[in-house]
Chains A and B, each alone.
Chain A
Amino acid sequence: ETGVTQTPRHLVMGMTNKKSLKCEQHLGHNAMYWYKQSAKKPLELMFVYNFKEQTENNSVPSRFSPECPNSSHLFLHLHTLQPEDSALYLCASSLQVDNSPLHFGNGTRLTVT
């Protein structure tokens, strides 16, 4: 139990589908993050939310749309993805966005066909 829960664990979707990834943290943290982990590449930061406000969009294509309704929940809405978007999508949280230790969920393994 990591304190950060991601659903679903696995997702297979076609390029024309619309799906959403969900992340929930029970740690009382104020900052939440989406990361992308592709094979043979370092983790890439996608989005940062601090007190529900987006503070960073790391040049992510618009086919990825984040939503943070409150400090405990974070979504990543997906539409018209490409096969190269297949990766492990990791959610993380931290007490503050000042690089206090990150707590990660177990990720959603996404396959785009």
Chain B
Amino acid sequence: KQEVTQIPAALSVPEGENLVLNCSFTDSAIYNLQWFRQDPGKGLTSLLLIQSSQREQTSGRLNASLDKSSGRSTLYIAASQPGDSATYLCAVSSGANSKLTFGKGITLSVRP
């Protein structure tokens, strides 16, 4: 059974820092991995999707990498801003029609 872990559960950084959010999964036979953002009281917004054949994806100040063999993904946020404060969730799927397995998320606070 796939398990997804995100540590730490919460992180507080000053504005302007480059930071890395970690995600680990137990079964390396994944189909793809997604990173989501969730603002308080809102639904999830898809940030980046990495297929199993890819090593990384980039969108603006965000870069997500995938290392299947070690069961790890990282979300890199460059020059963090207070508006980046949110919960970031990682989710993996094990097949084309397989459900996503989510981590519990990392709650990020960027201090002005």
Contact = CB atoms under 8 A, between A and B. Distances in A.
Contacts of A53: none
Interface residues of B, number: 25
Dominant secondary structure at the B interface: strand
B46 A58 contact: no
Contact of A99 (B41, B100, B103, B105): B100
A43 interface: yes
Dominant secondary structure at the A interface: loop
A42 B103 contact: yes
A99 B95 CA distance: 8
Interface in A38-59: 40-43, 45, 48, 55-56, 58
Contacts of A21: none
B30 to A, nearest CB: 10
